[in-house]
Amino acid sequence: MTKKLLLPTICYLLMLPVSAFTQKSAEEPLINVLHDLRNELFVHEKEAIQELKELVEKWDSMSVPMNEKKSFLRGVWNSYLVNGYSAKFIRKHTKKSLTRLYPSYEDRDLEVIKRNADLVDLLNEDLLKLAYPFPLDEKALLYTELLEYGLKDSMRIGEIGAGSGMVSMLIASVYDNLELYLNELDRDMVSYMNRKLEKFPKIRKSNTLHVVKGDRDGTNLEDKELDLIFMREAFHHFSDKTEMVQSIYRALDADGVVIVSEEVLDYAVDSSKCSKALRRAEVISIFELSGFTVMDEVGNGDQYLFKFIKK
């Protein structure tokens, strides 16, 4: 009985205006969209979210580190939901790489994450905090990045390595008359993105979104004359970085801008950093050799946001 009373109360609290939680965020359109999305999930997916709550609490009771929780969520989302790998495969991977989490592992955990795919999408982007009731994380790096994008209505935008497409879909939920191209190399992820586009509730009707299957040495966006291309933690994964940057060059308008968000190796290197990450100077050099110049850069030591324009 207590649980039945608790869920409606939580839903009511979550549906309060944003100003009831924080005055600072009330004027931020993206915050408002995210708040609405989370509210809708809590209203329509109550039972699934209760299961996710119990799963996270199980991990907490075993003192599973936050990095293992996030790795499991992201890995299951990608392997189970997108690529269709078996529970046996994921169990084996979890036992090998997530040693603190593995003793709590159950195959049913995969189904819990699958039923919460849309919420997990937001958690994977670090837009929500990984603790019930999964509140918005208003210190998320994405908010800072978007301020640097110079976004406005009627832009032509490309996202390289779009993953689930969540970021571009959020942008399309805030601005009007946009033409967005969501580029992704992985064929299964392209299919997932197309499915997500069909049901994403907040995209404004004036916007047009295209999912584009990229190649290892090209974006397939050449001659689109885009105003902005952005990529988030994707550049270091390119197998042929020079070819890709030249393809990006050809996809941009003469006054177009490229935004690259990257973790760099200039400072402390630990196991949490991708083994393919580059140094700051390497990123700049590859772009400069392909006809770009650095317009601006913002960094905190580990994470850098580079803004490039054509020379």
Q: Do 106 and 153 lie in a common domain?
A: no
Q: Do 186 and 41 lie in a common domain?
A: no
Is 263 exposed, middle or buried, given 0-12, 13-18 or 19+ CB atoms closer than 10 A? middle
For the cut 80, the answer to whether the pLDDT of residue 301 exceeds it is no
162: domain CATH number is 3.40.50.150
Tell how far CA 44 is from the center of its chain.
22
Q: Do 147 and 115 lie in a common domain?
A: no
Q: How far apart are CA 286 and CA 21, in angstroms?
A: 44
Radius of gyration for the chain, computed over Cα atoms and rounded to the nearest angstrom: 20
Q: How far apart are CA 194 and CA 298, in angstroms?
A: 33
Q: How far apart are CA 121 and CA 127, in angstroms?
A: 9
Q: Final residue of a domain: which of 91, 124, 157?
A: 124
Kindly tell me the sign of the dihedral angle through the C-alpha atoms of 276, 243, 283, 149: negative
Q: Do 70 and 148 lie in a common domain?
A: no
Domain membership flag for residue 135: no
Q: Do 147 and 275 lie in a common domain?
A: yes
Q: Final residue of a domain: which of 80, 99, 124?
A: 124
3-class secondary-structure state, position 80: helix
The pLDDT value given to residue 20: 39
Q: Do 216 and 250 lie in a common domain?
A: yes
* Token pair in block for residue 241: 């970085």
Q: Do 119 and 165 lie in a common domain?
A: no
Question: Cα–Cα distances in Å, from 262 out to 7, 21, 246, 278, 280?
Answer: 40, 32, 19, 8, 9
For the cut 50, the answer to whether the pLDDT of residue 8 exceeds it is no
Q: How far apart are CA 267 and CA 231, in angstroms?
A: 22
For the cut 80, the answer to whether the pLDDT of residue 1 exceeds it is no
Domain membership flag for residue 22: no
Domain membership flag for residue 266: yes
- Per the structure, the complete domain to which residue 63 belongs is given by 29-124
Q: Output the average pLDDT for the chain.
A: 88
Domain membership flag for residue 3: no
What's the whole-number mean pLDDT along residues 72-98?
A: 95
Looking at per-residue confidence, does 260 or 5 come out higher? 260
Amino acid at 265: L
Q: Do 288 and 163 lie in a common domain?
A: yes
Length of the chain: 311
Domain membership flag for residue 15: no
Domain membership flag for residue 13: no
Domain membership flag for residue 50: yes
The pLDDT value given to residue 263: 85
When pLDDT is cut at 50, 70 and 90, the band that residue 102 belongs to is: very high
Q: Do 71 and 172 lie in a common domain?
A: no
Domain membership flag for residue 11: no
Q: Final residue of a domain: which of 93, 124, 155?
A: 124
Q: Do 118 and 153 lie in a common domain?
A: no
- Per the CB < 8 A criterion, the answer to whether 110 and 90 are in contact is yes
Spatial CB neighbours of 64, under 8 Å, sequence gap ≥ 6: 100, 101, 104
The pLDDT value given to residue 261: 93
The pLDDT value given to residue 112: 97
Question: Cα–Cα distances in Å, from 272 out to 70, 92, 231, 275?
Answer: 12, 21, 20, 9
Q: Do 108 and 147 lie in a common domain?
A: no
Single out the residue of 292, 192, 297, 305 nearest to residue 251, CA to CA.
292
pTM, two decimal places = 0.86
Task: Quote the crossing angle between the two packed helices 46-61 and 117-124, to the nearest 10°.
Answer: 50
Spatial CB neighbours of 39, under 8 Å, sequence gap ≥ 6: 11, 14, 15
Please tell me the total count of domains within the chain: 2
Q: Do 50 and 104 lie in a common domain?
A: yes
pLDDT tens digits, one per residue of 137-192: 988 888 888 989 999 999 999 999 999 999 999 999 999 999 999 999 999 999 99
Report angle CA 256, 200, 70 to the nearest 5 degrees: 85
When pLDDT is cut at 50, 70 and 90, the band that residue 268 belongs to is: low
